[in-house]
């Protein structure tokens, strides 16, 4: 797949997560990124510890609040607008981590459109399935789908940049079998 198309696909998938559970898309982006350090530049602001903590708290709060009967519809302006914004932001942030990043505007649009579509689909699912199985079961199925989409969007070798530690024995393909007596070294471990 074309790297830019893959980045847009990932932006759309994480936007879909935000459409189902508004806070979960950004939480997935924050927790799947590498912590900020010398080898990972400022572009990874979602991986900062305070952002990770805030995203975890907000995602857990939404998980609990979603099961409450008094929560307004996600299709009201107060429920839909944050989903669209968080879909755009999480889509852009995840796209920037991809090896062939797409245009930030295109990634934001993909995330926002997917968030809107999945917000409507999720509301329809809860209305139909909730009437048949009960709202708690319908909500649990939606939770599982959101987690699966977040995992697919964030987990792949193509999402994280390659290791920049050149010359390190465990990162060099020609270093295998070159240790003492032909023994290989496990990465950062004892000789085998």
Distance CA 84, CA 81 (A): 5
Going through the chain in order, the beta strands assigned E by DSSP cover none
pLDDT tens, position by position, 52-83: 888 888 888 888 888 777 788 899 999 999 99
pLDDT tens, position by position, 145-159: 999 999 999 986 344
Which stretches in the chain have pLDDT values below 70? 34-47, 99-101, 156-192
Distance CA 76, CA 191 (A): 61
């Amino acid at each position: 797949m074309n790297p830019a198309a893959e980045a847009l696909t990932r932006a759309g998938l994480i936007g879909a997560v935000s459409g189902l559970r508004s806070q979960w898309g950004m939480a997935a982006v924050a927790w799947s990124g590498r912590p900020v350090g010398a080898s990972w530049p400022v572009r990874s602001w979602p991986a900062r510890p305070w952002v990770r903590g805030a995203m975890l708290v907000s995602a857990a709060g939404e998980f609990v609040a979603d099961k409450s009967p008094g929560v307004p519809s996600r299709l009201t302006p107060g429920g839909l607008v944050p989903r669209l914004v968080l879909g755009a932001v999480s889509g852009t942030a995840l796209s920037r981590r991809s090896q062939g990043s797409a245009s930030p505007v295109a990634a934001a649009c993909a995330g926002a459109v997917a968030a809107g579509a999945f917000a409507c689909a999720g509301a329809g699912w809860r209305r139909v399935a909730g009437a048949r199985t009960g709202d708690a079961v319908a909500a649990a199925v939606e939770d599982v789908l959101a987690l699966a989409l977040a995992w697919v969007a964030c987990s792949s070798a193509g999402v994280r940049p390659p290791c920049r530690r050149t010359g390190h024995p465990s990162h060099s393909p020609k270093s295998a079998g070159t240790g003492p007596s032909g023994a290989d070294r496990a990465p950062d471990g004892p000789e085998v």
